[in-house]
Chain A
Amino acid sequence: DAGVIQSPRHEVTEMGQEVTLRCKPISGHDYLFWYRQTMMRGLELLIYFNNNVPIDDSGMPEDRFSAKMPNASFSTLKIQPSEPRDSAVYFCASSLDHQGGEAFFGQGTRLTVV
Chain B
Amino acid sequence: AQKITQTQPGMFVQEKEAVTLDCTYDTSDQSYGLFWYKQPSSGEMIFLIYQGSYDEQNATEGRYSLNFQKARKSANLVISASQLGDSAMYFCAMREGHGGYNKLIFGAGTRLAVHP
A-side residues, CB < 8 A to B, are: 31, 33, 35, 42-43, 45, 48, 50, 55-56, 89, 91, 93, 95, 97-105, 107-108
Contacts and interface: CB of A to CB of B under 8 A. Distances in A.
B45 A56 contact: no
A42 B47 contact: no
B25 interface: no
B47 A45 contact: no
Contact of A102 (B35, B43, B98, B106): B35
Interface residues of B, number: 27
A95 B52 contact: no
B108 interface: yes
Nearest to B49: A102
Nearest to A3: B44
Nearest to A105: B45
A99 B102 contact: yes
B95 A99 contact: yes
Nearest to A42: B108
A97 B100 CA distance: 11
Nearest to A110: B43
B103 interface: yes
Contacts of B97: 99
B102 A31 contact: yes
Contact of A42 (B37, B95, B106): B106
A45 B104 contact: yes
In this complex, the member of A56, A93, A97, A100 whose beta carbon has the largest number of chain B beta carbons within 10 angstroms is A100
Contacts of A89: 43
A43 to B, nearest CB: 4
B104 A95 contact: yes
